[in-house]
């Protein structure tokens, strides 16, 4: 996602799939199946994600519990909105995007627009 590094995105994936708020240790444990990371690395990544507005946190004892500010889908829509707002020519960007969508995606967009811009 725009504005996220590779490790930040992996941490966000863990948070998006979690059913509850997670401690640094919880995130580290879920990532460890893939690769070994230092506790402080994950703590720093979560701190950066908090500073960037991707996660919220609450203090529990000496540490924090983290959770995403937006769902994965909402975050994707937010990134698209940022791209359109910063493009200088949102119409052109939308037209290029529309030319790249699949038939299924096109149908979803059509239905969403017919339903008053709500969810499909």
Query: Environment class of residue 117 by beta-carbon count within 10 Å: exposed (0-12), middle (13-18) or buried (19+)?
Result: exposed
Residues 61 and 41 in one domain: yes
Q: Note the residue count of the chain.
A: 120
What sign does the CA torsion over 18, 24, 27, 30 have?
negative
Are the beta carbons of 27 and 46 closer than 8 angstroms? Answer: yes
- Mean pLDDT over all residues of the chain? 91
3 pLDDT above the threshold of 80: no
Residues 54 and 96 in one domain: no
Residues 29 and 82 in one domain: no
Residues 86 and 63 in one domain: no
What's the pLDDT score for residue 32? 86
End-to-end CA distance of the chain: 22
What's the pLDDT score for residue 72? 93
Residues 11 and 57 in one domain: yes
For the chain, what is the domain count? Answer: 2
Has residue 119 been placed in a domain? Answer: no
Other C-beta atoms closer than 10 Å to the C-beta of 14 total 19
45 pLDDT above the threshold of 90: yes
CATH at 11? 1.10.10.10
74-119 tens-digit pLDDT: 988 888 888 888 988 889 988 898 899 899 988 988 898 888 765 5
- pLDDT, mean of residues 6-20: 96
Look up the domain containing 29 and give its range. 6-68
């Amino acid at each position: 996602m725009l504005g996220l590094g590779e490790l930040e995105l992996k941490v966000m994936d863990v948070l998006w799939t979690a059913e509850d708020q997670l401690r640094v240790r919880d995130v580290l444990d879920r990532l460890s199946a893939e690769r070994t990371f230092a506790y402080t690395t994950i703590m720093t990544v979560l701190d950066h994600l908090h500073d960037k507005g991707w996660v919220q946190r609450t203090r529990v004892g000496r540490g924090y519990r983290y959770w995403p500010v937006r769902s994965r889908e909402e975050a994707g829509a937010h990134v698209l909105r940022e791209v359109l707002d910063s493009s200088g020519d949102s119409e052109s960007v939308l037209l290029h995007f529309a030319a790249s969508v699949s038939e299924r995606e096109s149908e979803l967009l059509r239905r969403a627009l017919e339903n008053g811009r709500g969810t499909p």
